[in-house]
Amino acid sequence: MALHTRILLGLLIGAVLGIIANQMVGPENPVVAFVNEYIAGPVGQVFFNLLYMIVMPLVFASISLGVAGLGDLKKAGRVGIRALGYFVISTALAASAGLILVGIIKPGTRVSAATRDGLMDAYSGDAAQRVAQSESVTFGIDTFVNIVTRNPIASAVNNDMLGVIFFGIMFGVALTMIRGDRATVMVRWLEALNDIVIKIVEIAMRLAPYGVAGLIFGVMSRFGFDLLVPIGRYIVTVMGGLLAHGLITIPIIVWLTVRVRPWDFYRRVRASLVTAFSTSSSAATLPTNIAVAERSLGVPPRIAGFVLPLGATMCMNGTAIFEGITVIFLAQVFGVTLDVGQQAVVMVMCVLTAVGAAGVPGGSIPLLVGILAMFGVPGEAIGIVLGVDRILDMSRTTLNVVGDLGASLYVAKNEAGWTLADLPDDAGRIVPAQLDETPDWSPGEEFAEVQREELGKPS
Ligand code: ASP
């Protein structure tokens, strides 16, 4: 059986078993608790960790190779600005869709006080911790100054991806400025690093069917349907916003910018969808996303390696939708009315925080708490939605990575001459199915070519 079929099967089996466990015996049942603690949990965690451990080296290697491959600073700047434009516009569209939807459905006006108190009670511990976390999140000039990291290793250790990205960009830029024969050595080294981390992803993906099953089982057995019922309308609103964006806005953007048919686009990127859905992490999905962009969409490695790491942390369409809806929903629950002007500020904050959120599970939650406080909604209110956040997180992360892929195609078309003819024929194949094949592309050759052409030096 093809690996992608097995991954989907894992997703299904994990979910169904989880719901059955939740409905029949409940999460407190010793057997379910045991399975969660010693089987499903660890397997899921190992899968997640395997993907996560290579994120920083991958970001560094792919960004610097990407920048170096672009040839010069001017070109890198143009690509960066183009990507950023796409990120901001698509995220703003997403946030507006969410705000319109939540204004129409008004999910928060029907939450009973008893339900609210119950949820607040249940999650107050976690909420307090999140609130404390949010206090360390501040917006200001420092936010931008600190992107220029003073210690790239510390950035990597602290999951400060923007810092690592910045270091990678500087590294790549400088790489194009030194002597060709020396640059080549470094490029080869980076390429090897890149290949190695991608190989690790492929190895991790062998564990995916079990890892995905474990992760989903944990969520489903714990929360089942019960918790979903009281705030069903809120969930429906978020899901509706995500679906509308995924099924209407993104297909329109992709069609308008690169002329790829929506069905074909989604068919090609399904490995990324499954990975994002099961890991709830744009960062953990990044390796898969890069492989998918290159092998299933034909995006040149230097573009994919540059745009996707940026997108993993800066382009979060799904997160913007979720944040907008959640802020208004909680305001509704607490009887805070926001006028049009305030809603516009909510939108801007959603875009900004979606750019700033880390691509990890729940990465946007601390920032969301910050927005709530801005509008007089108690930060602890986050406890009301935290209980169902995982399923929403899984869904919004899926849209987040789709947005990144759209951006990479758009940039590839406008900056690297990508055309429809570059879409690989066998792209229906999910990346992990090619586990045992050696990659048929080599950034090394491409870079060597760029170097020969642009630097006029032998490689
Ligand atoms: N989990 C999301 C991501 O990785 C971030 C978030 O919205 O919490 O893209």
pLDDT in tens, 204-261: 778 878 887 887 787 677 765 544 555 678 889 999 999 999 999 999 999 999 999 9
Instruction: Evaluate: CB of 359 within 6 angstroms of ligand 1.
Output: yes
Cβ atoms of residues 257 and 409 within 8 Å: yes
**Mean pLDDT of all residues in 45-56:** 78
Instruction: Evaluate: CB of 398 within 6 angstroms of ligand 1.
Output: no
State which ligand 1 atom lies nearest to the alpha carbon of 397: 9
Max mean pLDDT range (54-63, 96-105, 339-348, 376-385): 96-105
State which ligand 1 atom lies nearest to the alpha carbon of 285: 4
- Extended beta strands in 182-239, E state: none
Q: Does position 56 have pLDDT exceeding 70, yes or no?
A: yes
Cβ atoms of residues 345 and 303 within 8 Å: no
Q: Which residues of 306-335 are buried (b: 16+ CB within 10 A; e: fewer)?
A: bbbbbbbbbbbbbbbbbbbbbbbbbbbbbe
Tell how far the Cα of 211 is from the centroid of ligand 1, in angstroms. 19
The CA-atom distances, in angstroms, between 69 and each of 85, 171, 295, 449 are 21, 12, 18, 9
Instruction: Evaluate: CB of 403 within 6 angstroms of ligand 1.
Output: no
**Mean pLDDT of all residues in 391-420:** 93
**Mean pLDDT of all residues in 36-53:** 83
Report the mean per-residue pLDDT for the chain. 79
Cβ atoms of residues 296 and 57 within 8 Å: no
**Mean pLDDT of all residues in 11-39:** 86
Reduced to 3 states, what is the DSSP secondary structure of residue 361?
coil
Q: What integer pLDDT is reported at residue 431 of this predicted model?
A: 44
Q: What integer pLDDT is reported at residue 323 of this predicted model?
A: 94
Q: Does position 393 have pLDDT exceeding 70, yes or no?
A: yes
Q: Does position 428 have pLDDT exceeding 70, yes or no?
A: no
Give the integer Cα–Cα distance in Å for 338 and 336: 6
Q: What integer pLDDT is reported at residue 92 of this predicted model?
A: 94
More confident residue, 50 or 282: 282
Q: Which DSSP string do the residues of 352-370 spell out, in sequence order?
A: HHHHHS-SSTTTTHHHHHH
Q: What integer pLDDT is reported at residue 245 of this predicted model?
A: 95
Max mean pLDDT range (15-19, 35-39, 129-133, 139-143): 35-39
Q: How confident is the model at residue 443 (pLDDT cuts 50, 70, 90)?
A: very low
More confident residue, 390 or 424: 424
More confident residue, 429 or 444: 429
> Which of 215, 277, 281 most suits a substitution to test ligand 1, by most atoms within 8 Å of the C-beta?
281
Instruction: Evaluate: CB of 400 within 6 angstroms of ligand 1.
Output: yes
Q: How confident is the model at residue 112 (pLDDT cuts 50, 70, 90)?
A: low
Reduced to 3 states, what is the DSSP secondary structure of residue 438?
coil
Tell how far the Cα of 393 is from the centroid of ligand 1, in angstroms. 6
Q: What integer pLDDT is reported at residue 458 of this predicted model?
A: 38
For atom 1 of ligand 1, the residue with the nearest CA is: 361
Q: What integer pLDDT is reported at residue 200 of this predicted model?
A: 82
Give the integer Cα–Cα distance in Å for 432 and 51: 13
Instruction: Evaluate: CB of 319 within 6 angstroms of ligand 1.
Output: yes
Cβ atoms of residues 217 and 17 within 8 Å: yes
> Which token pair is 138?
């501040």
Find the distance separating the first CA and the last CA of the chain, reported in whole Å.
43
Give the integer Cα–Cα distance in Å for 365 and 127: 10
pTM of the model: 0.70
Query: Which amino acid type is present at position 23?
Result: Q
Q: What integer pLDDT is reported at residue 91 of this predicted model?
A: 94
Q: What integer pLDDT is reported at residue 214 of this predicted model?
A: 85
**Mean pLDDT of all residues in 282-298:** 91
Q: Does position 395 have pLDDT exceeding 90, yes or no?
A: yes
> Which of 319, 325, 365 most suits a substitution to test ligand 1, by most atoms within 8 Å of the C-beta?
319
Q: Which residues of 268-279 are buried (b: 16+ CB within 10 A; e: fewer)?
A: bbbbbbbbbbbb
Instruction: Evaluate: CB of 360 within 6 angstroms of ligand 1.
Output: yes
More confident residue, 219 or 47: 47
Instruction: Evaluate: CB of 413 within 6 angstroms of ligand 1.
Output: no
Q: Does position 287 have pLDDT exceeding 80, yes or no?
A: yes
Give the integer Cα–Cα distance in Å for 258 and 248: 15
> Which token pair is 387?
């209980």
State which ligand 1 atom lies nearest to the alpha carbon of 364: 8
More confident residue, 319 or 339: 319
Reduced to 3 states, what is the DSSP secondary structure of residue 416?
helix
Q: Which DSSP string do the residues of 41-88 spell out, in sequence order?
A: HHHHHHHHHHHHHTHHHHHHHHHHHHHHHH-SHHHHHHHHHHHHHHHH
State which ligand 1 atom lies nearest to the alpha carbon of 312: 9
Instruction: Evaluate: CB of 357 within 6 angstroms of ligand 1.
Output: yes
Cβ atoms of residues 32 and 21 within 8 Å: yes
Instruction: Evaluate: CB of 311 within 6 angstroms of ligand 1.
Output: no
Tell how far the Cα of 417 is from the centroid of ligand 1, in angstroms. 31
